[in-house]
Structure 1
Amino acid sequence: MDATGSTEKNNPANDDVQEAAVLIEQIGPTRRLIMNRPKSRNALSEEMMAALALELERANQDDVTRLIVIAANGPVFCAGHNLKELTAHRADKDGGKAYFAMIMETCSKLMQQIVNCPKLVIAEVQGTATAAGCQLVATCDLAITVNEANFCTPGVNIGLFCSTPMVALTRNVPRKQAMEMLVTGEEIDSHTAKAYGIVNRVVPKDYLRLVVDRYCEEIAKKSPAALKFGKEIFYQQVELPLSDAYDLAAKTMTENMMAADAEEGIEAFLEKRKPEWPCGS
């Protein structure tokens, strides 16, 4: 396992330096980004968001990587923003306003980076996800969770409506259920989260890694070009009126048909053989 930016553990001079905020594990075409601040419940601190953004970009640029998994160490997947970090800036001359704006903008850019990444991003949720942590799960293309995980947007309980988590939530969850989560701040269990559309599957804890790996293995067999076309148009068309969505989909389908992967895939299907993707495997 490679921890990008990690210290040399055998060097005494580095004994007091923390491991990287995000650890990296590459197995075949799958790259795991493992949030590694369990003591702070993997909060989306300034450090954590910068590390995730950097590693997402590196994974995106890596030709070997086909899928990206966001996972976490510890009992909590992600507890949202680091409130201690935010509160410390109340002492700034502007009461923290500039810092708060920077953190919220950084988080918004991170979520959009996940959506705009042409590679599939899967959340591997081993524990509770709250506030911006719930937002992170909802933002990923797919999400697999364990039975024990809970989800909530509890900002309203501390006088802070979860406005940015709301963006991801309302794009996954039916309107009334999303509003209920936002205005009550109450936790929902993993099976309710599945029913609401926040996660795809709920599995026993011992099988989480196995199930996510099987998803990655299956998706990695598909055409890289088709997946890139598909993810991009999925998020574009879902916000459009019906006629505009079909116009966009028809244009994208035509471009996809002209791609080498589509030519090879159709020929392989007709010839009853496995395709060999020209755009990579």
Structure 2
Amino acid sequence: MAEIVALKSTPAEGPVLAVLDKGILRLTLANPPANALSIAVMEALTEEFERAASDKAVRVIVLSAAGKVFCAGHDLKELTAHRADADRGRAFFEKTFTACATLMQAIVRNPKPVIAEVNGLATAAGLQLVASCDLAICSNASTFCTPGVHIGLFCSTPMVALSRNASRKQAMEMLLTGETIDAATAREFGIVNRVVPPEYLNQTVTKYAEVIASKSPLTLKIGKEAFYDQIEMGLADAYAYTGRVMVENMLARDAEEGIGAFIGKRSPEWKGE
């Protein structure tokens, strides 16, 4: 039976749910209709990603959401309420965007692959959440935008993740116009990997997760870390770095086992070492 865990949150903000089944940890934003990233929700998500990082039972993480909106971004009502503070909200705003940066980096730096399962609108920090995941699969009913420019608040932090997925021109198109793009355009821009009918979304994501979960967890950890490290380097540095990574990977027990299994035409038995 799948293990179900309700993460820390307040009743007003709704729970973030975690279900672990056969190595696949499914995290669900369960605060419709907006599934907003309040401080409580971001901290709960970060806590769960950090826990999963060291949990050998977790092989792959899927991030999904309940309702018609995947995530509407930051909780603007929560932010606005702190304008009445003595510092006009500065301390709370800093806390919010620090929590957001911590969450996004907890996804990128997590040794476990993270797949976004999107069925609905992902806007502002919600799009940032999708773009921060290693893979993203969405329904053809999904839409995406960075609309901050409409309300006088440029989507500067979502820009970090967006500009690492889409080309510069595509990212700037979204950031400067604030217009919504459909699922097909999101795939063209590189924000999502695949677009499927809603009725096949969960099935497709689960298939991806199961395929990835069948691989050596050590190899996945090594590869994901190396991917994000080398992509920020110059060409020569990237080759030097990944060459060292390959050597260490070759010396790992799982590489020896995997290559031996391939040569011997048998299934490998991963030990994660």
Say whether the fold is shared (TM-score over 0.5): yes
Residue deviations 1:223-249 (CA, integer Å, cap 9, x gap): 111111100000000010000000000
Matched, 1:67 2:69: no
* Match 1:190 to one of 179, 183, 195: 183
* Match 1:230 to one of 223, 227, 245: 223
* Match 1:268 to one of 232, 237, 261: 261
CA distance in 1, matches of 2:177, 2:43: 31
CA distance in 2, matches of 1:24, 1:217: 17
Unpaired runs of 5+ in structure 1? 8-15
CA distance in 2, matches of 1:198, 1:192: 9
Partner of residue 242, structure 1: 235
- 1:1-281 pair list within 5 angstroms: 2-5=4-7, 17=11, 21-39=15-33, 41-279=34-272
CA contact (8 A) 1:119 1:227 kept: yes
Q: How many residues align?
A: 271
CA distance in 1, matches of 2:224, 2:37: 25
RMSD: 1.6
Partner of residue 12, structure 1: none
CA apart distance, 1:62: 1.8
CA distance in 1, matches of 2:216, 2:175: 38
CA distance in 2, matches of 1:181, 1:167: 13
The amino acid that maps onto 2:29 is M
CA contact (8 A) 1:71 1:125 kept: yes
CA apart distance, 1:222: 1.0
Aligned residues with identical type, % of pairs: 58
CA apart distance, 1:278: 2.1
CA apart distance, 1:57: 1.7
CA apart distance, 1:150: 0.4
The amino acid that maps onto 1:275 is P
CA contact (8 A) 1:131 1:162 kept: yes
- Of structures 1 and 2, the one with the larger relative CO (CA 8 A, separation 6+) is 2
CA apart distance, 1:203: 0.6
CA distance in 2, matches of 1:5, 1:145: 25
Change (3 A) 1:19 1:78: closer
The amino acid that maps onto 1:153 is T
Change (3 A) 1:6 1:91: closer
TM-score (normalizing by structure 1): 0.93
SS of corresponding position for 1:107:
helix
The amino acid that maps onto 1:33 is L
The amino acid that maps onto 2:253 is A
CA contact (8 A) 2:13 2:41 kept: no
CA contact (8 A) 2:17 2:29 kept: yes
CA contact (8 A) 1:144 1:200 kept: yes
Change (3 A) 1:94 1:179: same
CA contact (8 A) 2:146 2:179 kept: yes
CA distance in 1, matches of 2:135, 2:262: 27
CA distance in 2, matches of 1:126, 1:152: 14
